[in-house]
Structure 1
Amino acid sequence: MGKKNTNSITKNEEGGKSKAIWNDDLVAIYCEICVKEAAKGNMPVTHFDKIGWVNVVKVFKEITGRDYDKKQLKNKCDSLKTDWKLWSSLLHKETGIG
């Protein structure tokens, strides 16, 4: 048994859409792209607008070579937001911590 390759993309059992596999480097790249796109004004409220998502998908593919679609990237964004809310809640709202 060797080390699992976290840089690969796996096919689902039906042979359809690939599952996005994320490692720490990909998450950092994705976050940087999202911050830059939000700074351009393409995130009017809580999610990117149509132009923002097109740009995020395009730049992510250019930098990483990964052909993740909008749905995969949005799912990761939603997951990261959930994780951040939990971390923030634990850090700032719970008694006895900081």
Structure 2
Amino acid sequence: MTTKENISSKYENLGKATWNNPFYTKVLLDICMDEIRKCGKPRIVFKNKKWEEIRDEFNKNASKNYTKKQLKNRMDNLRTDWTTWKQYG
């Protein structure tokens, strides 16, 4: 089994991530903000490799086992919520 197969099997049966504890969202946002500060750009799109690093850091800090897709989905949902709030808030 290759390393890529090991990684995908490690995360494959997780289903939908649970974000009911605000701590997990804060951990994710803090990691992403650190990455944005490192790049010096307010609007940044993370590449796959960077999302893997974010995933690893998040899982270590939050004691979770989320996939990069779950983290990306959370960030997309937060971005949508922020845009809606900014527009109608």
TM-score calculated relative to the size of structure 2:
0.73
1:19 maps to which of 16, 19, 26 = 16
Amino acid at match of 2:16: K
Structure with the larger strand share: 1
Q: Is 2:17–2:70's contact at 8 Å kept on the other side of the alignment?
A: yes
Query: For this pair of structures, how many residues does the alignment match?
Result: 76
- Rounded Cα–Cα distance in structure 1 between residues aligned with 2:59 and 2:14: 16
Gaps of 5+ in 1: 1-15, 92-98
TM-score calculated relative to the size of structure 1:
0.67
Aligned residue runs from structure 1 range 37-52, under 5 A: 37-41=35-39, 46-52=44-50
Residue 45 to residue 73, structure 1, CA distance change in 2 (3 Å): same
Highest RCO, 1 vs 2 (Cα 8 Å, sep ≥ 6): 2
Deviation for aligned residue 1:18: 3.1
Gaps of 5+ in 2: 1-12
Deviation for aligned residue 1:60: 0.2
> Percent of pairs identical after alignment?
33
Equivalent residue number for residue 71 of structure 1: 69
- Rounded Cα–Cα distance in structure 2 between residues aligned with 1:51 and 1:44: 19
CA RMSD of aligned residues (A): 2.1
Structure with the larger helix share: 2
